[in-house]
Amino acid sequence: MPSGLVELLTWDTAFWGVRAARLHVSNGDEFDAADRACADDNIRWASVLVPHSNAPLLNSAVRRGFDVVDTRITLVRSLVDLSVRTQFDLAGVGDIAQISEIAATAFRVSRFFVDPHLDDSACELFYETWVRNSFNGEMADATVVSRHDGSVDGFMTLRSRPDHTASLPLVATRSDRRGQGVGRRLLSDALSWLADQGATTVDVVTQLSNIAAVRLYESAGFQITDAGFWLHRWY
């Protein structure tokens, strides 16, 4: 494969059962080279993230048969000025089953569910697996939860980095508890835990179409710093 242009996604390939790759291209010539490499290496599914400011690259992708499956945004908040700390509730292994059940159906607007080539039941299992991997340190460092009547009604996975930045990889609320302040409580708890770990900034990625999530983060002091388009092509 051309060096740096095509990244074989080994975990995704194993999970979805097809050879999957991500393209790292910045112009049409690189797109052509990566496209040929995918064909030569029997790549079945390729994805590319195009910055919102690069309209020529977006046009190049569409002309080559890529479909837009997601408009993603990144929001960032400083934790240096976090004055209010809350008593967070960290999930334990006994909570995995309930959290997995919430995760299975919580991310319907994600690019995986949007892609018609991917079966919904497989997408549900994808997020369940992601959650379970969050408890072994592979995908997260901790998970804060909200409880109602003894049951988990929402969760947020947390990831800290050596440079004192952090992220919120997965955020979800049980369907019958949405609109009742669960997300706001979870976010407050998550920021408190991360600040205690020494994080100075935190970022989160979500879909622009997820209006409720965007409003939640903006109300908590997050600001949009980046946007881009996810595109998929099936060969």
Distances in whole angstroms, Cα of residue 220 to Cα of each of 82, 103, 124, 188, 189 = 10, 23, 29, 8, 12
Which of the four pLDDT bands, split at 50, 70 and 90, describes residue 138? Answer: confident
What residues pair up with 157 in beta bridges, in sequence order? 143
Distances in whole angstroms, Cα of residue 161 to Cα of each of 19, 137, 155, 169 = 30, 13, 20, 13
The pLDDT value recorded for residue 2 is 55
The pLDDT value recorded for residue 3 is 61
- The total of other beta-carbon atoms located within 10 Å of residue 120's CB is 12
The pLDDT value recorded for residue 17 is 96
The pLDDT value recorded for residue 232 is 98
Question: Who contacts 163 (Cβ-Cβ below 8 Å, separation ≥6)?
Answer: none
Among 126, 99, 128, 96, which Cα is nearest to 113's? 126
The pLDDT value recorded for residue 6 is 97
What is the share, in percent, of the chain residues with pLDDT greater than 70? 99
Helices (H), the chain: 10-16, 28-40, 55-63, 96-106, 111-114, 120-134, 182-196, 211-219
The pLDDT value recorded for residue 77 is 97
pLDDT tens digit sequence for 1-60: 556 999 999 999 999 999 999 999 999 999 999 999 999 999 999 999 999 999 999 999
pLDDT tens digit sequence for 82-103: 887 888 999 999 999 999 999 9
Q: Mean pLDDT across the stretch 99-111?
A: 94
Query: Does pLDDT of 114 surpass 90?
Result: yes
